[in-house]
Amino acid sequence: MAEKIKKLMNDYPAARWVALILIALMMFFGYMFVDVMSPLQSLVEQQRGWTPHVFGTYAAAEYILNVCGFLIIAGIILDKMGIRFTGILAASMMFVGASIKFIGISEWFQDTAFNAWLGSWWTALPGSAKMASLGFMIFGCGCEMAGTTVSKSIAKWFKGKEMALAMGIEMAIARVGVFAIFSISPAIAAKFGGVAAPVGFCTVLLLIGVINFIAFSVMDVKFDKQLIEAGKLKAKEERSSDEEFHLKDLGGVFGSRSFWTVAILCVLYYSAIFPFQRYGANMLQCNIGDLSPQQAANIFRWFPIGAAIITPFLGAFLDHKGKGATMLIWGAVLLIVCHLVFAFALPATHSKVLAYGTIVLLGISFALVPAALWPSVPKIIDEKILGSAYNLIFWVQNIGLCFVPLLIGSVLESSNAYNPYVLSAKWNDLDFIPYNYTVPLIIFACFGVAALLVAVYLKTLDARKHLGLEEPNIKEEEGSDK
């Protein structure tokens, strides 16, 4: 039977790259929605009364359910039910959560009795923030589940091929989503006079993302049939108990020092990236001065572009040359430098050129670490529990991503409690409030220092245990086939 299949679907470059584009576009739309309100912080404060603490609470909501254990469940679902079921479920959750957030932030919702009740119930947040946070929670569950599903999908379709390059391109496409939304979100808000319009626009795009993953699933069904006919995959009913995923298999993940080192590095590094994106545009307004939200967003949007341009090249380098652990170290170093420049050099110079250069440099850091991090996981974790491993890393990461925005929002508010410029702006009811971002940026730099120390330890661990993090991917796969 195996002789009937001369070439599998993923042996054809066009087929595997079309599959990649379909799932990458879903993440592209997801990343757009994640940051759709990031360049609108001052506008939502003006129109909906959200303080920095409220904005930080809303940003943290994306990760709350994941931290409470959903991502662990998502990993089990992925390994038990497969990439097709999990991907469609994740894409649907993103769309449903986005729809709830759109309702909460929309203008008509503000005058409803339900909004008034929400504002008076439980904790002192505006009703719009509570509704938006609920939607963001559901969206966040779907988005993180989708991210791990996409990683496992790429590992399946590009096994023995350009895996790091494919993961790099997928990440690059997703990063362009951040660039796109920082470019168009303020423009859409200005055109339609409010924060709801860009949220609604991205919600429609997420529906297209659901359709994209369904199309990918059709391709994956055919691919599985070919793998079964070629004898490279057993039909579900033919698999032995040892070949199926069991909860006890997670012990191999929890007991792995290499896994926990990667997970801790992940949470430390990303805690200085994604929460920073929420405040980045407003930080540029405050540290440069004389910038509109649109102008600040136009500068900050180049951050993901730096990552998008260089990530595929780094992926190709990893496939052929390796040096993944070294890349992690350099990525952490650049992260520290960038946040210190934002904290001290930018307020002193008010230089747009310096802002552009530092943003692009941060983007290069954001390319180095993810490009090396995610293709490293299949090297240290068995394929049977790869989905759970990715989700456990995302779970650890989400702990930081949940609490760091709350920390930054609280620190930003408390460190500016007696700032005369802030007090004057509030007393005079100005649209723009010039916060001092020095303390939050130092906190981000400290996360970078901790990530650097863990990255150095991981390289030492790799040298001692021969994990293969410094080895090229394609060479390793070819060797394993002999």
Token pair belonging to 40: 């609108």
pLDDT of residue 482: 32
What are the tens digits of pLDDT across the range 310-367? Answer: 877 887 787 788 788 898 999 999 999 999 999 999 999 999 999 999 998 998 898 8
What are the tens digits of pLDDT across the range 110-146? Answer: 889 888 888 777 777 888 899 999 999 999 999 989 9
| Cα dihedral 143, 149, 151, 152 in deg (nearest 10) | 170
What are the tens digits of pLDDT across the range 433-457? Answer: 899 999 999 999 999 999 999 999 9
Domain that holds residue 313: 2-481
Sign of the CA dihedral with 24 first, then 293, 130, and 62 last? positive
Indicate the pLDDT class of residue 75, thresholds 50, 70 and 90: confident
Cβ pair 90, 210 in contact under 8 A: no
In this prediction, residues 227-254 reach a mean pLDDT of: 64
370 or 109, which is more confident: 109
Question: Which CATH number do you get for residue 57?
Answer: 1.20.1250.20
In this prediction, residues 223-241 reach a mean pLDDT of: 71
Number of domains present in the structure of the chain:
1
pLDDT of residue 455: 93
In this prediction, residues 278-302 reach a mean pLDDT of: 86
For 150, residues 6+ apart whose C-beta sits below 8 A from its C-beta are 23, 24, 26, 27, 87, 170
Q: Is the pLDDT of residue 419 over 50?
A: yes
Cβ pair 451, 272 in contact under 8 A: yes
pLDDT of residue 3: 47
Global pTM? Answer: 0.73
In this prediction, residues 258-275 reach a mean pLDDT of: 90
What are the tens digits of pLDDT across the range 166-204? Answer: 887 888 888 788 888 888 998 899 888 788 999 999 999
pLDDT of residue 239: 54
